[in-house]
Amino acid sequence: MADLAPFAWTFGSLHPEVVASVCVAGAAYLGAWLPRVRRGEPLPLGPLLSFFTGLAALTIVLNGPLHDLSDRYLASAHMVQHLVLTLAVPPLVLAGTPGWMADRVVGWLLAGRLTRPVAGMLLRPLPQFAVWTVALVFWHLPGPYQAALVQHRWHVVEHLTLLGAAFLGWWPILSPSTRAPALPYAAQLLYLFVFGMPMTVVGAMVTGAEDVLYPFYATVPRALALSPLADQRLGGVLMWVPAGVIPVVVFTLVFFRWAATEAEVDDPV
């Protein structure tokens, strides 16, 4: 790693495969709306903004200076990247996906001979939470984490796994599908009590570690004047705090949505 300059990350790098994937997702989303627009239905601004904000966040964290800091210099930057991939992109994309579009995807998964058994299992809350927990813990263990830093193909697998697991983890709260719907409001509140626990535990363990868990970051030039251990502890805190705050924010939103729904039922006029 001696060939890396301490500030080479400021130039950033562009990954065409990421940009192309985001463009394909955006084009597919707009293409699905096209028949409805032709029938005179307006494009809904809120969902549109949410979906493309999620795609923009995905593009930013997998390209440019943050990506280079994450890949080559700082564990804390890597943790920020993981936070966006798990706690920002999936809820934004799910919130921007209309129910009819989600039903098409779910229907396609449940109709396929090969995909039906797996989809039928993974579209239930307990397996979804289990996959989210296992993926998050596994990729922050020293061995897998180090492998993802040393070999780019494993880094790609890491990000795809975390992103997919996070979509499953958020599904019981934000599913727009009627074929695999979100949990009832009361169950959503219970689910949110445990949703942040895996990341909280991982963040606490990383923060409290007395030694550098990921040796890769001890061999690279120091960026932002952080020692490897201080950098690691900062990364742990960055995981720990949002993992506690974001579920509380979502819990509050769900509670008030539930209360508003109950009020409408009690007073239909």
User: What are the start-end ranges of the H helices in 73-184?
Assistant: 75-87, 89-95, 99-111, 115-122, 125-138, 142-150, 152-174
Taking CA 22 as the corner, what is the angle to CA 167 and CA 75, rounded to the nearest 5 degrees?
65
| Per-residue pLDDT tens over the stretch 186-234 | 999 999 999 999 999 999 999 999 999 999 988 887 777 789 999 999 9
Nearest to 184 by CA among 258, 134, 110, 77: 258
In the block, tokens 């990921």 appear at: 214
Chain center to CA of 166: 5
CB 160 within 8 A of CB 21: no
CB 174 within 8 A of CB 182: yes
Instruction: Indicate if the pLDDT at residue 266 is higher than 50.
Output: yes
| Per-residue pLDDT tens over the stretch 65-119 | 888 888 888 899 999 999 999 999 999 999 999 999 999 999 999 998 888 999 9
| Per-residue pLDDT tens over the stretch 26-61 | 999 999 999 999 998 888 999 999 999 999 999 999
pTM, entire model: 0.91
| Per-residue pLDDT tens over the stretch 235-256 | 999 988 888 899 999 999 999 9
Predicted pLDDT at 12: 65
Predicted pLDDT at 66: 86
In the block, tokens 């028949």 appear at: 35
Predicted pLDDT at 41: 87
Predicted pLDDT at 71: 83
CB 71 within 8 A of CB 149: yes
| Per-residue pLDDT tens over the stretch 130-149 | 999 999 999 999 999 999 99
